[in-house]
Structure 1
Amino acid sequence: MNVLEHLKKRNYFYSKLPDFWANLYGTEYGLYDIQTVNDEFVFETREFAKKAGHLFFKTAQLLQSNTITDDTFLQMGYPKETISFLRQRKSPFPTIIGRFDSVIVDGKHKLLEFNADTPTFIYELFKVNGLLCQEFGLNNPNELEEERLRTAINRALSSAIDNMEKDSLPNIVFTSHEDNIEDKNTVLYLQKLTQYPSKYVPLDQLRIVKGEALLDPDNQVINILYRQTFPIESLIKDQDPTTHEKVGEQLLELVNQNKLLILNPPSAFLLQNKAIMSVIWGLHEEASPFFSEEEHKWIEDYFLPTYLEPDQFIKDKVKYVKKPVFGREGDTIEIFDESGEKVEEDKNKSYTDYIPVYQKFVELPTTTYKTENGVKEGHMMIGTFLLNGAPSAFGFRVGDQITNNLSYFLPVGLKEKQ
């Protein structure tokens, strides 16, 4: 297939998906191509997510115990305004929708980070991936996952409603930045999967009555706020443009006072912090009895050495990556060589206010894929979802060594057994 024919087919395919952002920031995002995997890869990917999820959830219980001081949270880079919020336990699962980012090294998944609180890549893997599989005549490894996503969301809402002790149905609001097509359409997709009455309200149309309630544009009290794409670390910086009141902090206070319930729950923000990986790795290195012998084996298999200082890497002359504890899409990431010299960095610097973690560098494997401009070669990263603790849909992002918001979505299909 030549480039013009490929472009024609791609445009026709994605024209049938008006709610999908096949192009982002003026460039191609959704590829008209597919990466094939076998049953063994599918099994190993979900085993990785299951075991990594177990380790994170167990660590969340430790961090939310009474033995952990406020100073510990501050040393890990959590904003002081969020500490009371972090201690809230309002859900049977620490996160409803989370996503692991991993890379294959010597045949095994190695965890790069866990977006436990506000992952995107949802509509792509739970909906669009299946349509691409049909287009290319392949089985969809994520075939059953949209229904599981529906179940996870409704189970979380049901649990939230039960805990509210309300006689009538609560006012459930889904929200996002209205001008971000990816965020808005992701949230609208999730809203369509819910069985309860709800409404979509852009973030800038929400209003807080300090210490009392969060209101929608109809002046109705919001009981449950689903903010899938709006990070807590951004929320706490929100100020009213007129009064300059810290409305983000006021919203968290409503949560702390049980006057508002938000999803993902507070514990998802706890796990969003990349310093959690340094906690897990530190406990592993000291052979802590907190983890069983089997769990230590999982950490050895799936985790990369991660620290709050680069000293060990510099001492051992090991290449490493510097990442902000809160950050997304490769923003603010820097790569250092064996001598501690910076050799690569992302041009965006949105998260310099947060302390960094230092993680052992691993080369992302490469693959070829078809684009509007012909065949390219790029680095490949795997995103795997965790729904209420259970492994779910997965797929690929391809692009530069630092996976950023200009990387492509590469769908995944299942090879037929030979």
Structure 2
Amino acid sequence: MPEHEKARQAFYRTIPRFWHDLFQEPYALYDANILSDLEAQNIRQAAERITAIYDKAAPLLRSLPDETLLELGYPEQTLPFLRLKPLDTEGVIRRVDLVKTEQGYKHYELNADTPTFIYELFRVNGIAARHFGLKDVNEGCEENLQNAIRTAVRKLWPHHKAPKVVFTAHHDHEEDWNTAFYLGELFGYPHEIIPLQELKLIEDDGLYTPAGTRIDVLYRQTYPIEHLVDDKDEDGTAVGVELLKLVADGKLAMLQPMSAFLLQSKAVQALIWGLHTEKHDYFTAEEHRWIEDHFLPTYLDREPFLNGSLPFVEKPAFGREGDTITIFHSDGTPLKENSLRTYGDSLKIYQAYQELPSAAIQTPYGQEEAHLLIGAFVIGRHAEAFGIRAGSAITGNEAYFLPAGLQP
């Protein structure tokens, strides 16, 4: 084993429940990207402004008729629940994906419902930064995340009796399961970590633990709503829809709330961009400047790009991890595409292509050139931890985690 790989393994094995390797491939790099204080400030400012635009769009989305929501890609089964808003914020933990350009930070998409990259940025990044003699770019963010989870649980369960809180994920998915464990540990109050498949749903009654205790608050770390509504048990009962009925009836509280799922569709970017190009007074002059500064032109069809000279990207409205993304030349011929095509039948959106910047990174296989994507978390309304994924032109599951830090 090369010395660099020995050092990487030795370092990351000291961090409990961390998946420094995934699917038998390296994931966390033994390297660090050095940022300036100004860069960190600009990233957080961009993330807050972008999320504020989405939050401004949310009431408009809730006012739309069901037919229009279907045209924006929302599954029909979700329509009775899309207008639920149990908290004063649209989401608790959201991640904005950013690309650094000569014009500032542009916005790829918002992961509003079930964002990953949490443990890496709120805890592991700091351990790695200090190891390399740097200051953690996310110092203090973990405490703010903890407070946000605790506050959300209190607001979702405003009763004198302490709630039964359960964090859940697929037990056989190392990243999801250990992230759920981390969030439960951070929550700090009595709770259980229970595999998703072991939860028991009783129609019109409640959701229960394997021991028969009724659950009051469920944190589903990575159980996307668009998948949940299709889930059925062995007798054909639509258990996913029944779970959302429990939420709507006040028999179960859920994190993330349904308001976060409302903003998960990438078609929302097309709605926002359409209002911006019309100079619609739904957004203030300042908000229009934010959209111009940070959003990429996005549409529900490819026609606006075929008359120009710039490449564009086709994305599924509810796709994840680069799956089913294709980059096209301006004439509509494919330039690059992700080999995974899981979302082939999903509604597509079309966005101006903005190439990711690249940098040399140190990997177990030697030095490589990689494209850098910034993931910036917004907790409630405030920008918190952010970090870097290093990979190919289309960032997917195979991308590395590259720690980042500031000069002390």
Query: How does the TM-score come out when normalised to structure 1?
Result: 0.96
Provide Cα deviations, 1:183-220, integer angstroms capped at 9, x if missing partner: 00001100011143111111100111112111110111
Q: Residue in 2 aligned with 1:397? A: 389
Q: Residue in 1 aligned with 2:117? A: 121
Which residue, 363, 369, 388 being the options, matches 1:377?
369
SS in 2 for 1:316: coil
Q: Aligned-pair distance for 1:134?
A: 1.2
Q: Aligned-pair distance for 1:13?
A: 0.0
Using the alignment, how far apart are the partners of 2:235 and 2:80 within structure 1? 25
Q: Aligned-pair distance for 1:107?
A: 4.4
Deviates more, 1:289-298 or 1:253-262: 253-262
Superposition RMSD in Å: 1.1
Kindly tell me the number of residue pairs found equivalent between the two proteins. Answer: 408
SS in 1 for 2:29: coil
Q: Aligned-pair distance for 1:342?
A: 1.2
Which residue, 162, 172, 176 being the options, matches 2:165?
172
Q: Aligned-pair distance for 1:244?
A: 2.1
Letter in 2 for 1:197: P
Which residue, 181, 202, 211 being the options, matches 2:195?
202
Using the alignment, how far apart are the partners of 2:395 and 2:50 within structure 1? 21
Which residue, 133, 136, 152 being the options, matches 1:137?
133
Using the alignment, how far apart are the partners of 1:5 and 1:338 within structure 2? 46
Contact 1:117 1:228 in 2 (8 A): no
User: 1:301 aligned to 2:297?
Assistant: no
Q: Residue in 2 aligned with 1:25? A: 23
Q: Residue in 2 aligned with 1:108? A: 104
Provide Cα deviations, 1:125-166, integer angstroms capped at 9, x if missing partner: 00100011111001111011011111111111111121xxx4
Residue correspondence of structure 1 range 147-166 to structure 2 within 5 A: 147-162=143-158, 166=159
Using the alignment, how far apart are the partners of 1:99 and 1:266 within structure 2? 16
Contact 1:396 1:409 in 2 (8 A): yes
SS in 2 for 1:50: helix
User: 1:222 aligned to 2:220?
Assistant: no
Q: Residue in 1 aligned with 2:35? A: 37
Question: Structure 2, unaligned stretches of length 5 or more?
Answer: none
SS in 2 for 1:413: strand
SS in 2 for 1:81: helix
Contact 2:90 2:259 in 1 (8 A): yes
Letter in 2 for 1:326: F
Query: How does the TM-score come out when normalised to structure 2?
Result: 0.98
Using the alignment, how far apart are the partners of 1:223 and 1:350 within structure 2? 33
Letter in 1 for 2:286: E
Q: Residue in 1 aligned with 2:13? A: 15
Q: Aligned-pair distance for 1:62?
A: 1.6
Q: Aligned-pair distance for 1:324?
A: 0.4
Residue correspondence of structure 1 range 140-289 to structure 2 within 5 A: 140-162=136-158, 166-240=159-233, 242-289=234-281
SS in 2 for 1:193: helix
